Chain A
Amino acid sequence: MSRKTAKKSPPAPGVRVRMYNPGLGDCFLLTFETSGAKRPRHVLIDCGALATAANDERLLRVARHLAETTRPEGIDLVILTHPSLASVAGFLRAGEILAEVPIGEVWAAWTEDPHDPAARALERQRAAALAGLRAAAAHLHAAAHPSAELLDPLLGIFGDPQEGGPTEARRAFETVFRSGAAKRFQAPGDRPCPLPGVPGVHVYVLGPPRNGELERPGHDREEGLVLGEETAFFLAALCAQGQAMDGSEKDLRDRCFPFERSLRLSVEEARAHSFFRQHYFDSETSWRTVESEWTGCASRLALALDRDVNDASLALAFELPDGRVLLFPGNAQEAQWRSWQRLSWPQEGEPDPVTLSDLLHRTVLYKASHHGSQAGTPWEDGLARMTHPDLVVMVPVDEAGSREGHARGWDFPFEPLLERFEEVARGRVLLPDCCLPDRPDRISREEWKAFEDRSKCEPGLYVEVTIPFEEKPP
C-alpha cells in the first residue's frame, strides 16, 4: 500500500499535506508538484513524539514510510519548529532510518542559531530554568509532594539530559544540523523567502519574534543570569539539592539570602533551640511543617518555561502560487500570535503591504498549534479571521495521543476548540488516526465529495489532503 502511495504523484500542480501519526507529537510531510520541476519536492515539518515505548515504535514506522516516500532524492527541506521531543524526537529515536535519508536544507528558528548571541543567551536562560526545575522536582519527590507528579511529565517534554549535558531535544537538533545539509536560521523579515525548488511558493516567517519578547524575567541579554524572582528560586532549588554551581551563580545565590549571615540559625541550631523544639520540631504539630511548600511554585514556573519554549516556535505561512496559504504555527502561543500583528511585508507594485489579516483570510490549511490547546489558537485574532471557504484544519493529536496526554494528566485537544474548528472549517477537521470525518448535516453532498476526493487516510499511519493550485503564468 505504502509503495503505491509513494509512486502515486499528486495531480500536478498542487501540494499534498500529510499528517503522520507518531503519537502525541507533530510530523508533517508536504509534497509539492509543480509543472516546472521534474520531481516532487518534499518538505518535512517536525518529526517527533513524547517518549513512550509505543511512540518509539510509531516513530520507526513513520520514519520508514518517510524514507520510502521520499526515495531516492530524499527530503528537500527539513523544518524544525522548536526543541521539544514532540517535535524532534524522531531524529534520534528513528535516527538510523532517517540518517539514510538525504536532506537538502534545514530550517530552524533564529533562536537555535549557535552563532547568535541573543539566541545563546536565551538558551542559557532556559538551561538554567530547566536545571532549577529539575532540582525542584527532585526536592518535591523526596518530600512526596503531590505536585511532583504534575511536574515530571512537563519536564519530560524536553527529554532527559545526558550527564548534565544537553537535553534529548537539543541533541536531536544537533543530529540534524550535523547531517551536512545547508542550515538557515529564520526570523521574521520584511519579505517572504522562496521555497527552494518550488517556483511560485513563498514562505512568510511569522515568528519567533526577535525583539526581546522571549526573554524570561530575571535574565538579561548581556549579563545572562541576573537577580530576579525566578533566579532566586532556581538557585535555592539547586542549593537545596546540593548541586554544583559556578562562581557567578554562587555569588547570586548569596545575594538571594534575605538577611545577614549572622541572623541565620542553621537547622541543627534550631533543633537545639527551645522555642523551635517546642513549636516546630514537636511531633504533635508535625502535620503543620512546611518543608516542601516553597518548591510548589515550580509547577507554575515549569508551565512558564513550556509556554516560552512553545512560543519560540518557528511559525511559517506557505503562500501558494494562487495566493492561498498553508499556516504552520509550530506550537506558537498567545504571545507569539500577538507579535504577528505587528508584521507586514511590502509588495512590489502594490500600495498595501501583506498583513497577518491577509494571510489568515487566505488560509486554506491550518495546522492547529500546540496539539489543539486553547492557548495555541486564539479566537479573535486568529481562528475567527480564517474565513476561507476551503479551510481544512489538521489537529496533530488523536484519540490515542489524547489518551497518552491524559495518562500524564493533560487535556489535549481542548474540546470546545475542536468544536470551533469544525464550525469554521465546515467539518473538515482531520485528526491523525481517524478515518475521514463524517459529513455535517449542513454541508451539501457535493461540497463534501469534493473534500473526500482530495483527502486520503492510511489508518494509524497518516491522513492527508491534497490542495491543487493554479500556477501563475511565468
Chain B
Amino acid sequence: MPDVSAPPPRRRRPPFRGLRVYGFDPSLNWKLETALINQIVLQVPWETGPDGGDLIGPVGEYLEVIDYDPGSGCFYEPVNLDDHFLLAQNGLEPSESDPQFHQQMVYAVAMTTIRNFERALGRRIFWSECGKDQDYRFVRRLRLYPHALRQANAYYNPEKKCILFGYFPASAKDPGNLPGGTVFTCLSHDIIAHETTHALLDGLHRRFIEPTNQDVHALHEAFADIVALFQHFSFPAVLRHQIARTKGDLASQNLLGQLAQQFGQATGTYGALRDALGKVDPQTRKWKPHEPDPNELKTATEPHKRGAILVAAVFDAFLAIYKSRVADLLRIATSGTGVMPAGDLHPDLVERMAKEASMSASHILSMCIRALDYCPPVDVTFGDYLRALVTADIDLVPDDDRRYRIAMIEAFRRRGIFPEGVRSLSSERLCWEGPPGDMLADFERLMPAVQELQALRPDWSLTSDREKAWKQMQQSARALHRWLLCEDGKTLGRCVGLALDADAPPSIERGANGLPLVEIHSVRPARRMGPDGQAITDLVIEITQRRRGYVNPARQEAVDSETLSPLPRADFQFRGGCTMLIDLETRQIRYCIGKRITSESRLEAHRRFLTKQRDGSLHATYFGDPRMRSEAEPFALLHRPL
C-alpha cells in the first residue's frame, strides 16, 4: 500500500508489528518460576485494515476478529492496534480482564501460525472456499470469535470458516486454577495455534475432514498439535529458560513438549491437556515419559489418542536430530566426558543449544508443513504422510547430510507406523513414485505443451493478491478440466487411475452427459531445490472423483452391474483421486500419488471402517455414528469427547 501522506524523507512501512502475548497461557503467570518467561512479543507482518485504514478488530488480510459473546448477549469493543499508545509499546499488556488484549492475542498467534505455513510452502495460503459443487467462492478471511462459547472447548467450524473459542469458570475442585476464575481458551497459545492449523489444513485439503479411515481425523489432530508444539521453540526466552532448567535434556519433562496446561488442569487431567513426551500418572500424580509401543497404533482408534502417536513420533525425530546437533557442543563443554558439571550451564552454552533446538524445530515444522503438498487428496493415512514427509524433504534437501529423514523414518518405525505396499524403509523406497518407465514417453506426448502448462501456474508469490491468485487457480482448474475430457487427457487420466469413460462403474457419480464427474481440486505451485541448488517450481494438481458407496456389498455389486435404476441412495460417499506433481520445465510427472476410485479393496476397507468398528459410545447410541453422516461441525465433538 503506497504511503501518500508523508512529506520527504519517505519512511517505509515497517515489515513487522510487535504484539505482546502470553507465551503459553495465563496459568504460567501464577508461578514464580515461569512468570518471567510467559510474556513474549510476537513479530507479526505489518498490515492495515481492509480499506487501508487502522487495523481495528483486528480485521486484516487473513483474519477477522469479531468479539461477540452470544452466551452473555453482548459484544466487546474492538481493539485498534494502530492506536499511538499501543504502537509504542508492542500492543496491550497481557491481561485476563481486558477483552481487547484477548483480541490482540488470538490475532497475533493465528498470524504467526499462518506465517509459518507461508514460509514453509513459499506461497500464499487460502482458506477453504465456501459454497458447494462448482459454485465455490473465495473466502478472504478466517473469522475468529474469541468468546463465542460458554464451555471448555474451542473448535474450527468449516461451514462458517470460523474458529469459536470458549471460556468457562474453573471448577472449585481444581487445585491449579483460581476456583470460579475464568479460563479463556483464546488466551492459550496452543489452542489458538491448534485451531488455526485445522483451518489451514482444511484450506489445503478439503477432504481431510471426512473420516474415511481411522487415520484421517487423527492426522488432522496430530498435525494441529505438531504445529502448536514446534511453535514453542520459536520463543527464544522460553527456550533458553527450559534448556537451562533441563540442562539441555529436552526429553525430560518440560514446558516445550506440553500443550494447553491451564485447560488441561481445569478439565481434570492433572497437567497439560496433551504432552508429547510423557504424561502424569493419574494415580501417583508423577510424570513419566512415554515408551514407544509399536502395538499402540493397533488399539488406539479415537482420533486424539491415535494422533498423539504420530505427534510422539515426530517429536522423537526432533529430539534425535537435536541431540545429534548438540553432541559436539556437549563434548566441548564437558571436555569429551559427556558428564555435565554440577550447577547451571554456562549461559553461552545455553544460548548455543537453544539456537540448535530452535533450528531443528523450525526445520521439522517446515518439513511437516511441506509434506502436505505430497499427500493424496483423499483418504490419507499415517503411512502416506510418512512417505509425503520423506518425498518433500528429498525435494528440498537432496542430500540428507543431517540425517533428518533417517531420524524421521526410525521414529515412525518405533511407533509402528508403516506405509502400505513398501518393500523397505529406506528413503528411496519411501519416496513417492512417478509413472512407470514405459509410460514416460506416452506421458510426454500427452502432456499439454510447456507454454500451456506454464500458463496454468498461478502467481502465488508472497506478494501477490490472494483473491487474484485464487481466481487464477480456478481458471487453471477449468482449463485442466477441459483438457482432461479430451482424448489425450482421458488417456493420461486412465494411466493415473482416474475413471473417465462411459464404461466406468455406474456407481461413480456422473454428470449430465453420462460421463463420470471429475473435480480439479487444486492447482498450485510448490517450490523445491534443483540438483544445483536452484529453486524450481513444480505444479501440484489434485484431482478427485466421487462414487456411491453401499454398506451392503451385494447392493454395490448390483449397482455396478447396471441392474438397478434409478440408483438407490448411497450409504456413504466414497472418494478417489490423485495428486500429481509436474515439473514445469520438463513436463515430467514427477510423482503421482493416487487413491484409485475403482479400487474395490479400498472401497471394502472404507466399508469395514464404517461398519466393523462399530461405535458403541453413548454419543453414537443416541445421536448416531458420526462417520455415517456429514456433520456441520466435525471438530466440535472431536475436541470434547464424552
* Chain A contacts to B: CB under 8 angstroms: 146, 150, 153-154, 217-218, 220, 226-229, 231-233, 236, 239-240, 255-260, 263-267, 269-270, 273, 275-276, 279-280, 287-294, 296-297, 299-300, 303-304, 306-307, 333, 373-375, 409-412, 414-417
Contact = CB atoms under 8 A, between A and B. Distances in A.
Most chain B CB atoms below 10 A, which of A260, A266, A289, A306: A289
B117 interface: no
Interface residues of B, number: 62
B640 A300 contact: yes
Interface string B62-81: 00101011111111111000
Contacts of A231: 169
Nearest to A149: B623
A294 B97 contact: no
Interface string B326-355: 000000000000000000000000000000
Contacts of A273: 75, 77
B88 interface: no
Interface stretch (B237-245, B585-593, B630-638): B630-638
B167 A258 contact: yes
B642 A303 contact: yes
Given A231-B169, A236-B71, A297-B640, A409 B623 contact: yes
Interface string B618-642: 1111111100000011001100101
Contacts, number: 178
B142 to A, nearest CB: 10
A267 B621 contact: no
Contacts of A236: 71-72, 150
Nearest to B184: A258
A226 B64 CA distance: 35
B161 interface: yes
A441 B292 CA distance: 44
Interface in B173-206: 173, 179-180, 182, 184
B148 interface: yes
12 contacts: A153-B622, A220-B172, A229-B171, A259-B99, A265-B75, A265-B77, A266-B75, A279-B57, A303-B642, A333-B618, A409-B624, A416-B614
Contact of B74 (A218, A226, A265): A265
Nearest to B149: A294
A293 B625 CA distance: 21
Can you list the 3 inter-chain pairs with the closest CB atoms, starting with the nearest? A374-B616, A270-B75, A264-B74
Nearest to B167: A258
B617 interface: yes
Given A146-B632, A228-B172, A275-B56, A299 B623 contact: yes
B130 interface: yes
A229 B169 contact: yes
A13 to B, nearest CB: 39
Interface stretch (B151-159, B227-235, B493-501, B563-571): B151-159
Given A229-B151, A275-B57, A293-B149, A306 B622 contact: yes
Contact of B621 (A226, A275, A373): A373
Contacts of A258: 69, 72, 99, 147, 167, 182, 184
Contact of A410 (B68, B171, B616, B622): B622
B320 interface: no
A406 to B, nearest CB: 9
Contacts of B99: 258-259, 263
A24 to B, nearest CB: 12
Interface of B: 56-57, 59, 64, 66, 68-78, 97-99, 130, 143, 145, 147-153, 157, 160-162, 164, 166-169, 171-173, 179-180, 182, 184, 614, 616-625, 632-633, 636-637, 640, 642
Nearest to A146: B632
Contacts of B618: 303, 306-307, 333, 373, 375
Nearest to A266: B74
A267 B160 CA distance: 21
A263 B77 contact: yes
Nearest to B182: A258
A104 B483 CA distance: 84
A294 B74 contact: no
Contact of B614 (A288, A297, A415): A415
B70 A233 contact: no
A306 B617 CA distance: 13
A411 B180 contact: no
A300 B168 contact: no
Contacts of A297: 149, 151, 153, 636, 640
A225 B148 CA distance: 24
A32 B414 CA distance: 60
A227 B64 contact: no
Contacts of B172: 220, 226-228
A22 B77 CA distance: 57
Contacts of B157: 290, 293
A269 B74 CA distance: 9
Contact of B633 (A267, A296, A304): A296
A297 B640 CA distance: 9
Contacts of A374: 616-617, 621
Contacts of A266: 73-75
Given A229-B169, A290-B148, A290-B160, A300 B637 contact: yes
A288 B161 contact: yes
Nearest to A215: B173
Nearest to A280: B66
A410 B624 CA distance: 6
Contact of A233 (B151, B164, B182, B637): B151
Given A297-B149, A299-B623, A290 B70 contact: yes
B168 A232 contact: yes
Contacts of B78: 275
Contacts of B98: 259, 263
A411 B640 contact: no
Nearest to A415: B614
Contacts of A220: 172
Nearest to B139: A288
Nearest to B179: A227
Most chain A CB atoms below 10 A, which of B97, B151, B184: B151
A228 B164 contact: no
A429 to B, nearest CB: 17
B64 A279 contact: yes
B180 A255 contact: yes
Given A150-B623, A154-B622, A263-B99, A290 B76 contact: no
B57 A416 contact: no
A201 to B, nearest CB: 34
Given A303-B619, A374-B617, 14 more contacts: A228-B172, A229-B169, A233-B150, A239-B73, A257-B72, A263-B77, A273-B77, A276-B66, A290-B160, A290-B164, A294-B149, A304-B642, A307-B642, A416-B614
A255 B98 CA distance: 16
Given A233-B151, A279-B64, A300-B640, A416 B71 contact: no
B169 A294 contact: no
Most chain B CB atoms below 10 A, which of A232, A293, A411: A293
Most chain B CB atoms below 10 A, which of A218, A280, A294: A294
Given A146-B632, A373-B621, A227 B616 contact: no
A412 to B, nearest CB: 7
A244 to B, nearest CB: 17
Given A265-B77, A299-B623, A294 B171 contact: no
A409 B78 CA distance: 42
Contact of A294 (B71, B76, B160): B71
A148 B386 CA distance: 41
Contacts of A153: 622
A350 B521 CA distance: 73
Nearest to A417: B616
Contacts of B632: 146
A270 to B, nearest CB: 4
B151 A294 contact: yes
Contacts of A150: 622-623
Given A217-B171, A259-B97, A290-B145, A267 B74 contact: yes
